[in-house]
Structure 1
Amino acid sequence: MNLVRLNRQMLGKLAVVTVAMFGFGYALVPMYKAICEFTGINVLALGEQAIPGVKSQVPANTQVDLSRTITVEFDANSRGPWEFKPATRSLQVHPGELTTVMYEFQNVQNRRMSAQAIPSYAPQQAQAHFNKVECFCFNQYTLEPGEKKVWPVAFVIDSKLSKDVNTITLSYTFFEVGSGTPPAPVASVKLPAVAGLGS
């Protein structure tokens, strides 16, 4: 009898502890917010709070130079019977602004091929300030006959680019790698016979 009463008391205590734990868990969220607001620890959450009558402003990217606009022209050349072109021919960008353009490529040959692109820049001084974050020119690709691919080029133009540069041309030359291209012909030279030297 005594044992049954002890078990009921223990069960009652465990039920009270369980309810208290659930209550404490729910109370943690408002307690956490109150402590963060009081101490200023969670600055991001405070900045995201809506203030009545005030529009929330997302801080602008201070690295983008909105006072300048640069025209970037895109060019594509291929060494071989392939189709290779940019999806757009030119864009207006601000220095410091992340921009992405797509290039389209198709292997129109009836055989598998591996190829890679090499970039070039005009004017030449723009190369040091043209930072590619992602580019298909970083890798070689193998395409099956007739296969089409669309590849991105993501870039940022450094705001330190000379102020007198208003237009940059990014040009890619796509060429086949590992192909059995025949070597250049070697000219055969016939030496004239010299009198008095062996017959």
Structure 2
Amino acid sequence: MSTEQQPMQPENNKKVAKTVKKLMLVVFAMFGFGFALVPLYDVFCDITGLNGKTSNSAANVNADGIDESRTITVQFISRTAKGIPWQFEPMVNEVKVHPGEMKLVKFYAKNESLNDIVGQAVPSVSPGQAAIYFQKIECFCFNSQPLKSQEDVEMALQFYVDTELPQEVSTITLSYTLYDITGSVES
């Protein structure tokens, strides 16, 4: 019986080695796909307008005029990331705007800690398809916000909603999350 098993072992070893090679190839392919996923996701979101990402730079002033036949409700939400001891909130919770009309709203921030902190606000728009139509002229989110201990500030957001906003969108929610970036800012 042992003589019959010996001729089979080299054949089995070849099959096992071939299977291991295939599995290693799958592992490397999955690893590579994981690295490619973030840029692919960003491209997908740019094309489809999903994920509510807004531009990180100032838009041009609206030249298309104002569409007074429509009124859009723009809601503002703010939150702080875990661990940042700031008070951060919109000074108004919502405004009504006509597409093409420029609006100025302010947010309030106060560093309630005993240390100086640099904050960075990251915006998100909902529904995601509205993100490409929400145009920020001026925004505190374009720059980091250094605040000394117990210092407070009013921060401006000037925007308009593009007149090309799809008709089915009547409410846009702009959400900001404030992060502590003190450790990543050069002194």
TM-score (norm 2): 0.62
Q: What residue number does 1:99 align with?
A: 103
Q: Which has the higher helix share?
A: 2
**What is the Cα deviation at residue 62 of structure 1?**
6.6
Q: What residue number does 2:154 align with?
A: 150
Secondary structure of 2:182's aligned partner = coil
Secondary structure of 1:126's aligned partner = helix
Within the candidate set 77, 83, 86, 1:82 is matched to 86
Name which structure has the greater RCO, CA cutoff 8 Å, separation 6+. Answer: 2
1:130 aligned partner, one-letter code: F
1:70 and 2:72 aligned: yes
Tell me which stretches of 4 or more aligned residues in structure 1 moved more than 3 Å: none
Identity percentage over the alignment?
Answer: 39
Name structure 2 gaps, 5 residues minimum: 1-62
**What is the Cα deviation at residue 81 of structure 1?**
1.9
1:74 aligned partner, one-letter code: F
TM-score (norm 1): 0.58
Q: Determine the C-alpha separation between the residues in 2 that align with 1:154 and 1:114.
A: 22
Within the candidate set 125, 128, 132, 2:129 is matched to 125
Say if 1:81 and 1:168 are closer, same or farther in 2 by CA, change over 3 A: same
Say if 1:126 and 1:100 are closer, same or farther in 2 by CA, change over 3 A: same
2:127 aligned partner, one-letter code: P
User: Which digits, 9 at most, give the CA deviation of each residue in 1:73-108, with x for residues without a partner?
Assistant: 000010122100000001110000000100000000
Larger gyration radius, structure 1 or structure 2: 1
Root-mean-square deviation (CA, aligned residues, Å) is 1.4
Name structure 1 gaps, 5 residues minimum: 1-60, 181-199
Q: Determine the C-alpha separation between the residues in 1 that align with 2:74 and 2:88.
A: 18
Q: Determine the C-alpha separation between the residues in 2 that align with 1:178 and 1:85.
A: 20
1:148 aligned partner, one-letter code: D
The size of the alignment, in residue pairs, is 120
